[in-house]
Structure 1
Amino acid sequence: MKAIEASSTALVAKSFDALAAEIIARCAALSRFTEEPGRITRTFLSPAMEDCHRLVRRWMEETGMEVFVDRAGNLRGYYSAAEEREAPRIILASHLDTVPNAGRYDGILGVLLGLGVVEALNGLHLRCGIEVIGFSDEEGVRYGLPFIGSRALAGTLGPPQLARLDANGIRMAVALGDYAAAHPEAVEAALHPKTRGYLEFHIEQGPVLDESQLPMGVVDAIAGQSRAVVTFRGRAGHAGTTPMTLRRDALAAAAEWLVAVEAAGLAAPGLVATAGKIVAEPGAANVIPELCRCTLDVRHASDEIRTTALKQILASADAIAAGRQIAVEHTIEVDQAAVALNPALTALAEKAVLAAGHPAPRMISGAGHDAMILAAKTPAAMIFLRSPGGISHHPEESVLAEDVAAALRAGLNFLDLFENHLESESSCTT
C-alpha cells in the first residue's frame, strides 16, 4: 500500500492539520532550550543542545525509532524497513543548532517535519528504512565554521577544521573528545553504507514564496559562498589631540570599505555581499581605533561570479588601506562551491509537491544548508516552505500551519516516489 494512502487511512484520529499543529508546538517547546534567557541561542555541543536532544529523542522513540547520537553530536533516529536485511535508506534531516537570538524554525522545522513524516506512517514500515537526523551544527556560530555535523557524516571534517578554537580557546578536537567521553554509547559519525538518498525540508528564509503566495518550492541548487575575515590595522591615538590629517583610523578605513562591499553586491544579479560583524579596538569613545576586524560573506549560484567579486572586494580593501597608510590583512575562512542538487531526486520532490496539490517552482537557495554537504556523498534534494514576510534568523521567524500540513503530504508522496525510483534503478542494474 502506498505510504500516502496508508497514512491517510491511519490519520483518522490525527489529521495532517493536527499533526502540523503538533510540529509547530514542538518547535515552540524546543525554543525553551537556550544559552541566553529571553533569546533562542543554541550552539554546537552546548548544554542547551543536550536538553534539546533529550526531548527530540523522546519524540523519536515514541514514534518507534531506534535513537542514538554519533561522535560529532548529531542526533539520529532510525525507523526500520519492513524487511531490514539489505534494505536501502533515505535520510530526512536538517539541523538543531541556531544563530544567536534566532527564530524557532530555521533547521528545527526540517528535523521535526522528518519526524512528522515518520509519525504519519502510523506504524507502516516501507521497503526502505528512514533515518531522521538533527545535525549538531549548521550555523557555525561556535567555531566560525558551518556544517560541522554534516561534514563529519560526509567524512570531510579533517585536521584543519578540528584545530579551530572557539571563543574560550577550546580546540574543536578537544570539544569532540570531551563529548565522546561523556557519551560512550555514541557511534562513529558516518553515513550508513545503504544510504541511497537525502531530503531536507527547510524554511526558505527569504521572500520569494511569500510574494508568490505559494507554500512550497523545490531547490535546484545551493549558491556557493565565501567567508573571509578582513582586518585593518592603524594607529591608536587620543581622540581630542590627534589632528584629523594625521590619523591612521582603522575603523574609518573599514567604513569606506563597507561601502565598496555593498557596491560589489549590487554589481551582478543574484550576487550578495555582506559584512555582518565588525569589532573595533581598543573600543573606547576617546581613542582612535587602531584595529578593525570585519567578517565578509559573498554568495552566488555561479562560482565564477562569486570568486571574481571576492577578489574585487579584497582588492578594494588593499587599495583603501594603502590610500590611508594603514595595513590590512584578509583570511579566507570558507570557500564553498555552489552545489547542484541531484536531478532525479529533485524531480521526485517536484512531483511530490505537485501531487500534494500545489505548484512546485524551482528555486536557487542563497543560504547554505546541510544538503550541500551530503550531496557529495548521496543523491540529495530540498523542499522549501514559505517564510511569511521573508523573515529568518530573527525571533519573528514564522511558518503557516497549512504549509506544514502540505509539506507532510509532500513528504509522504516523496517516500512513495523514492521507493519506485529505487525499484527502477534496481531493474536497470540487473
Structure 2
Amino acid sequence: MPISHEQAADQAWQWLEAASRFSETQDPERDGVTRLCATQEHRAMLDALSEWMRGLGMTVRQDNGANLIGRHASWNAAARTLLLGSHQDTVPNGGKYDGIMGVILPLALIHYLRESRIELPFHIDVVAFSDEEGTRFSSTLLGSKVLAGTFDNTMLDAVDDEGTSLRQALIEFGCRPEAITGDAYPAEEVIAFIETHIEQGPQLELENLPVGVVSAITGIERHRLTVHGLAGHAGTVPMHLRQDALVGAARVIQLVDTLCQQTEDLVGVVGKIENAPNGVNVIPQTTTLSIELRSPDDAIRRQARQRLFEQIEATLAASGLSFDHSLTYEQPAVPCSAWLIQVLEGAVQDTGIEPRILFSGAGHDGLAMQALCDIGMLFLRCKGGVSHHPGEAIAPGDLTRALSVLENVCHRLAAHG
C-alpha cells in the first residue's frame, strides 16, 4: 500500500533518533553525539544502517575505506547510478543531524519509492561516508576521496591521539587498506552525487524557508601570522614607546573583521591566539594568530587576501611592529553543477517552496566527489543556524518537504535521461 511523504519522513525521524544513540556520549540531548571513524560507535551505526537498508530491499556492502553503500537497484541492470548520501561521523559533542541526516533521508526516499512502487531507470546508491570531519585522524574527506579515486595512501600513516594509525584502524574495522584504490566508482557509471545537509547557518530560517539549493561549496584558506614586538615591564615603559605585539594583533583582528564585513561573499575569522611571554605585567613580545578566509569565489578570496596583507603590513609598520606569516591550508571553492542547480531549483518550486540559492560556507564531501562526477546539494533549515553543538535541531515538517523535493529530483532525472 502506498505511503505518504509524511509517513516516510516519520520513519526517517525515528531512524535519526536511534542513530543519535550510537555515540561515546550517554545523553545526546545534553552532551551531543560523538561518533568517530573506525570506532565501536561507527560499527554500531553501520550495523543499524545495514539492517535498515536490507529491510528496504537494498543490497549492502562496506568498502575498504569504511564507507557503507546500500543500493536500490533499477529494473535496468545496466543503468547508471545516482549517488546520494553524506557522512556518518561527527565532531566531538556534535549535533544529531549534521551528516547523518543526509544518509537517513535518502533511505526514507527509498522507503517511499518502494512502498509506492515507483520504479526508476537508474540505480540509487546511498552512501554513509566514513570520515568527513577528520576528527580522529585530522585527515578530512577520507570516505569521499576513496569513492572519487583521489585517496592519497600517505593518509594511512596518520595517527590518532592514542597512536593508532589510520591503516591499523581500518584493518581492525574489517577493511583492506591496500585495496582502497579498487573502491573508486567508474566515472562513466555515475549520473551525479547529491547531498542533503542541514544548512549550519541562519539564512533559511531568517527567510522562513524549509530548504535551499546550494550554488557552491566554499573555498578556504588559513594563515599563521606572528606579530613581533618588544617585551618590557608593563609599569615602567611609557605607552608611546611600547612595541606591544598583542595590541598589533588586535589591530590585525579588526582588519580581518572589517574586510569581511565590507566584502560580499567573504567571511573570515581569527580563531586562535598564542601570546608570549603571556605574563600579567609583561608587554607581549610575540603574538601568533590564525586567520581564515572563506568564499565561494576563489578570485574574491585571493583578492581579499592581497588587500588584507597590504593593510596588515602598513598598520603594523606604523606601530613599530613586524610580522611573518605562512599559508597553512588552501582548498579551492567547488561550484555545484549548473544543470543540477536547475534540477534542484525546479524540484523545490514544484514542491511549493520559493527557490533560494545560497552557497555553503562549510566544507562537505562534494569537495572530493567533484573529482568523480557532477555534484549538487540541498540545504535543510536548522534552528538558529546552530551546528556542531548539542543544540542542533531541525523540524519534522522540513524533513517531509525535503523528501518531497528529493522525489521530484528523481523524476526530473528520469525524464532528463
1:226–1:310 contact (8 Å) kept in structure 2: no
> Using the alignment, how far apart are the partners of 2:230 and 2:136 within structure 1?
30
2:212–2:357 contact (8 Å) kept in structure 1: yes
Identity of aligned residues (%): 34
Aligned counterpart for 1:176 among listed residues 139, 156, 167: 167
- Per the TM alignment, residue 27 of structure 1 is displaced from its structure 2 partner at its CA by 2.1
Q: Which residue number corresponds to residue 60 of structure 2?
A: 67
2:64–2:176 contact (8 Å) kept in structure 1: no
- Per the TM alignment, residue 204 of structure 1 is displaced from its structure 2 partner at its CA by 1.6
- Per the TM alignment, residue 273 of structure 1 is displaced from its structure 2 partner at its CA by 0.5
Aligned counterpart for 1:96 among listed residues 88, 99, 102: 88
Q: Output one character per residue of 1:324-359: Cα deviation in whole Å (capped at 9) or x when no partner.
A: 6576432322x2222221222222222222222322
SS at match of 1:133: strand
Aligned counterpart for 2:135 among listed residues 104, 123, 141: 141
Aligned counterpart for 1:41 among listed residues 34, 52, 57: 34
> Using the alignment, how far apart are the partners of 2:18 and 2:233 within structure 1?
51
Q: Which residue number corresponds to residue 227 of structure 1?
A: 222
1:218–1:349 contact (8 Å) kept in structure 2: yes
SS at match of 1:410: helix
> Using the alignment, how far apart are the partners of 1:147 and 1:307 within structure 2?
24
2:19 is equivalent to residue 30 of structure 1: yes
- Higher mean alpha-carbon deviation, 407-416 vs 335-344, is at 335-344
- Per the TM alignment, residue 150 of structure 1 is displaced from its structure 2 partner at its CA by 1.4
- Per the TM alignment, residue 284 of structure 1 is displaced from its structure 2 partner at its CA by 7.6
1:222–1:364 contact (8 Å) kept in structure 2: yes
Q: Which residue number corresponds to residue 104 of structure 2?
A: 112
Aligned counterpart for 1:349 among listed residues 340, 344, 356: 344
2:208 is equivalent to residue 217 of structure 1: no
CA change 1:27–1:228 in 2 (3 A) is: farther
Q: Output one character per residue of 1:196-241: Cα deviation in whole Å (capped at 9) or x when no partner.
A: 1111111122222222222122222223222334455778899899
> Using the alignment, how far apart are the partners of 2:20 and 2:341 within structure 1?
31
> Using the alignment, how far apart are the partners of 2:279 and 2:25 within structure 1?
26
CA change 1:249–1:34 in 2 (3 A) is: farther
Aligned counterpart for 2:370 among listed residues 369, 375, 380: 375
- Per the TM alignment, residue 164 of structure 1 is displaced from its structure 2 partner at its CA by 5.2
2:105–2:403 contact (8 Å) kept in structure 1: yes
SS at match of 2:85: strand
Q: Which residue number corresponds to residue 262 of structure 1?
A: 257
- Per the TM alignment, residue 183 of structure 1 is displaced from its structure 2 partner at its CA by 0.8
Q: Which residue number corresponds to residue 295 of structure 1?
A: 290
- TM-score by length of structure 1 reads 0.81
Structure 2 spans left out of the alignment, 5+ residues = none
1:321–1:328 contact (8 Å) kept in structure 2: no
What amino acid does structure 2 have at the position aligned with 1:276? G
Q: State the superposition RMSD in angstroms.
A: 3.3
- Per the TM alignment, residue 156 of structure 1 is displaced from its structure 2 partner at its CA by 2.4
> Using the alignment, how far apart are the partners of 2:353 and 2:345 within structure 1?
10
- Per the TM alignment, residue 271 of structure 1 is displaced from its structure 2 partner at its CA by 0.9
SS at match of 1:137: coil
- TM-score by length of structure 2 reads 0.84
> Using the alignment, how far apart are the partners of 1:169 and 1:280 within structure 2?
29
Q: Which residue number corresponds to residue 20 of structure 1?
A: 9
Q: Output one character per residue of 1:107-137: Cα deviation in whole Å (capped at 9) or x when no partner.
A: 2111111111111122645321111111122
SS at match of 1:121: helix
Q: Which residue number corresponds to residue 395 of structure 2?
A: 400
- Per the TM alignment, residue 404 of structure 1 is displaced from its structure 2 partner at its CA by 0.7
> Using the alignment, how far apart are the partners of 1:236 and 1:136 within structure 2?
48
- Higher mean alpha-carbon deviation, 407-416 vs 218-227, is at 218-227
> Using the alignment, how far apart are the partners of 1:228 and 1:75 within structure 2?
35
2:225–2:323 contact (8 Å) kept in structure 1: no
- Per the TM alignment, residue 98 of structure 1 is displaced from its structure 2 partner at its CA by 2.0
Structure 1 spans left out of the alignment, 5+ residues = 1-8, 423-430
Q: Which residue number corresponds to residue 5 of structure 1?
A: none
CA change 1:283–1:135 in 2 (3 A) is: farther
- Per the TM alignment, residue 298 of structure 1 is displaced from its structure 2 partner at its CA by 1.1
Q: Output one character per residue of 1:370-405: Cα deviation in whole Å (capped at 9) or x when no partner.
A: 223322321221111122322222222211111111
What amino acid does structure 1 have at the position aligned with 2:325? E
Aligned counterpart for 2:72 among listed residues 73, 79, 86: 79
What amino acid does structure 1 have at the position aligned with 2:59? E
> Using the alignment, how far apart are the partners of 2:226 and 2:22 within structure 1?
35
CA change 1:249–1:402 in 2 (3 A) is: same
In the comparison of the two structures, how many residue pairs are matched? Answer: 406
What amino acid does structure 2 have at the position aligned with 1:183? G
Q: Which residue number corresponds to residue 410 of structure 1?
A: 405
What amino acid does structure 1 have at the position aligned with 2:377? M
